[in-house]
Structure 1
Amino acid sequence: MQLAWLEDFVELARTRNFSRAAENRFVTSPAFGRRIRALEEWVGAPLAERKQPVSLTPAGMLFLDAATHSLDVLHAARAQLQNPAPHAEETLRIATGRTLAKTFFPDWCESINRRFGPFLVSLSTGGAQEGIMRLSSGDVDLLLSYGSPSTRLLIDPNLYESILLDHETLLPVSAPNAKGRPQFRISPTGDTPIPWLAYSPTLTLRSVLSQHLASLTHKLPLHMVCQADSYEAILEMAKRGAGLTWLPQRLVQDELKLGHLAVAGDAGMRVSFDISLYRSRRNSNARVDAIWQGLSSATKQVRK
């Protein structure tokens, strides 16, 4: 059986005409007919009714799915082999969260490309624990993550080193009311229950916010109405007026400018945290090391 026979049969099924299919396949009609018969002999069953327009037999309908799938797989494999993935030394593999991938990574990646590139970046997104596991197994070179008590607990400083890249702030936000003021607002002494859109335990900033809320002298009367493992999902719920929540400033800054959200608490309700980069101390990638040393030097100069 030849691959061309499968391509002939798929074209015949598409055109429902032997002459047109032969023309599209750049062969004569007699030669095309012989190739279809050869395929039928290989399959062991007739695949097409010889009439106008051509119709497929039940066996032909079944075999069409198999032929189409086989061609897709083979062509994809061929394309992949003809265009092999770049060597690991040529690619900067980074893991990060979905929100950082949207709010922080593009500008940061552009800046390191200008300074150390150009080079290929392979970005994978997921939860913090997933990113740490990928870093630990060597699947990625760098982990870009929010700094939190849970992250610091999971990343052993004896095995991994880190660079503080920037700071971020969790802002208490709520949909505005008709007057443009927050629909739900935090009062330092209030006791009226506030509907709260909370983080799932899997989100990195859950521990950051929990630590802040626990440190307040007055316990806030938060009533959890929704818990989600996506900052973007919480953002959409907040915009719809479902409750009050805390979200990264970079994520909500446009919504605040457009008036879709309003800040719902004073400065004491804001929570600062870090955006950090991590790598394994065993990483021997020369490009990663050059970038790391450059970023480390820049960080030290800023601190001075």
Structure 2
Amino acid sequence: MHLVWLEDFIELARTRSFSRAAENRFVTHPAFGRRIKALEQWVGAELVTRTQPVTLTRAGKLFLDAAHNSVDVLYAARAQLQESSAETEKVLRLATGRTLSQTFFPDWYEGIKQHCGVFPVSITTGGAQDVIMKLAAGEADILLIYSSPATRMLIDHQRYESQTIAHELLLPVSAPDKRGKPLYRLDAKAGAMPWLAFSQTLTLRGVLAKHLAELEQKPALKMVYQADSYESIQEMAVRGTGVAWLPQRLVHKDIAEGRLLVVGEQNLRIRFDVSLYRVRGSTNELVNAIWNYAATGAGPR
């Protein structure tokens, strides 16, 4: 029996939907169904009825309490052991996006060192869902992430607390032509512009989509390239492949040195937050010191 099966069953009991629970657990519907079936075989009884909505059988209701208790006890024991080890070694385990690890974390870490002293850091990078799962699995002490409605929905706010530590701008940019003018302009007269788009795994896809949907006059865009890496989109924008929205910290050197130009009206520049998350009630002294430092508003904003 795997712990993940218990977590799957708890999520299914909460959502009462195989498809919704599978989505929340970041697995395909068929794979999720097989895991629930495997749990039932291990228990030796049917736990749910395959109806719409899903309901628990009598055995399922009894087993749900046991699943909750088991998961809580195991995670509590794991957290206690990991925090004890982390306090001894004073290693900060941080999960974050690839771009934030490059553009934001280094300057922020310098400020933390001045406040908390020198300490080692182990960084794990990945897509938003990947790093959120690292925090949920107890494999990260702190999550540093771009904030969006989608990421906030994926994080259990009863179990984790957050704070905004910086603000960022999503800028529409284009490579210049030979005269130093934008290759692509975002205005009604310009027609459909080739667009370098974010894939669904990138947090800022939802931020951009929501902002554009709320505009009275939307720019005409034709997707010619899509990637799950802001750096990949940045490179294609510099090469003149199309217009792109990219974080200001990522492209500020390109803009300063003339490789990219900010285009469009002011209302096409999108403000969003950089946020920290941690487990509520953490007793890790290093995590608490960093959390309190961040709460002072010090560091890059």
TM-score, normalised to structure 2, is 0.68
CA drift of 1:282 comes to 4.7
Q: Retained in 2: the 8 A contact 1:164–1:299? A: no
* Between 147-156 and 192-201, the greater mean CA deviation after superposition: 147-156
SS of 2:189's partner is coil
Please list, as runs of the form range in 1=range in 2, the aligned pairs for 1:87-98 lying within 5 A after superposition. 87-89=85-87, 90-98=90-98
Match status 1:248 vs 2:260: no
Work out the CA distance in 1 between the residues paired with 2:263 and 2:293. Answer: 40
Q: Retained in 1: the 8 A contact 2:192–2:220? A: yes
- Matching residue of 1:114: 114
Q: Deviations over 1:152-176 (max 9, x none)?
A: 1111221111111110000000110
Please list, as runs of the form range in 1=range in 2, the aligned pairs for 1:39-50 lying within 5 A after superposition. none
Q: Deviations over 1:31-89 (max 9, x none)?
A: xxxxxxxxxxxxxxxxxxxxxxxxxxxxxxxxxxxxxxxxxxxxxxxxxxxxxxx9422
- Aligned partner of 1:139: which letter? E
Q: Retained in 1: the 8 A contact 2:112–2:293? A: no
Work out the CA distance in 2 between the residues paired with 1:102 and 1:294. Answer: 21
SS of 1:195's partner is strand
Match status 1:211 vs 2:210: yes
- Matching residue of 1:267: 266
Work out the CA distance in 2 between the residues paired with 1:134 and 1:113. Answer: 24
Please list, as runs of the form range in 1=range in 2, the aligned pairs for 1:164-203 lying within 5 A after superposition. 164-187=164-187, 189-190=188-189, 192-203=191-202
- Matching residue of 2:160: 160
Q: Deviations over 1:127-172 (max 9, x none)?
A: 1111111101110100000011111111122111111111000000
Q: Retained in 1: the 8 A contact 2:96–2:144? A: yes
- Matching residue of 1:292: 291
Work out the CA distance in 2 between the residues paired with 1:236 and 1:105. Answer: 21
- Aligned partner of 2:166: which letter? D
Same amino acid, percent of matched pairs = 54
Q: Deviations over 1:70-122 (max 9, x none)?
A: xxxxxxxxxxxxxxxx9422111101111001100000011101101211111
Work out the CA distance in 2 between the residues paired with 1:103 and 1:88. Answer: 26
Q: Retained in 1: the 8 A contact 2:175–2:239? A: yes
Work out the CA distance in 1 between the residues paired with 2:206 and 2:135. Answer: 21
TM-score, normalised to structure 1, is 0.68
Work out the CA distance in 2 between the residues paired with 1:174 and 1:223. Answer: 14
Work out the CA distance in 2 between the residues paired with 1:264 and 1:235. Answer: 15
SS of 2:273's partner is strand
Work out the CA distance in 2 between the residues paired with 1:184 and 1:115. Answer: 45
Work out the CA distance in 2 between the residues paired with 1:93 and 1:176. Answer: 41
Work out the CA distance in 1 between the residues paired with 2:221 and 2:294. Answer: 41
Q: Retained in 2: the 8 A contact 1:196–1:243? A: yes
CA drift of 1:258 comes to 1.1
What RMSD, in angstroms, separates the aligned Cα atoms of the two structures?
1.5
Work out the CA distance in 2 between the residues paired with 1:215 and 1:191. Answer: 20
Q: Deviations over 1:201-260 (max 9, x none)?
A: 000100000001101111221000011000000000011110000000010010011111
Work out the CA distance in 2 between the residues paired with 1:278 and 1:190. Answer: 44
SS of 2:180's partner is coil
- Matching residue of 1:148: 148
SS of 1:201's partner is coil
- Matching residue of 1:67: none
- Aligned partner of 2:86: which letter? A
Work out the CA distance in 1 between the residues paired with 2:175 and 2:293. Answer: 42
Q: How many residues align?
A: 213
Runs of 4 or more above 4 Å deviation: none
Q: Retained in 2: the 8 A contact 1:190–1:221? A: no
- Aligned partner of 2:202: which letter? L
Flag the structure with larger Rg.
1
Gaps of 5+ in 1: 1-85
* Between 280-289 and 103-112, the greater mean CA deviation after superposition: 280-289
Q: Measured at CA, do residues 191 and 181 of structure 1 come closer, stay the same or move farther in structure 2, by a change above 3 Å?
A: closer
Work out the CA distance in 1 between the residues paired with 2:202 and 2:229. Answer: 8
Work out the CA distance in 1 between the residues paired with 2:190 and 2:242. Answer: 16
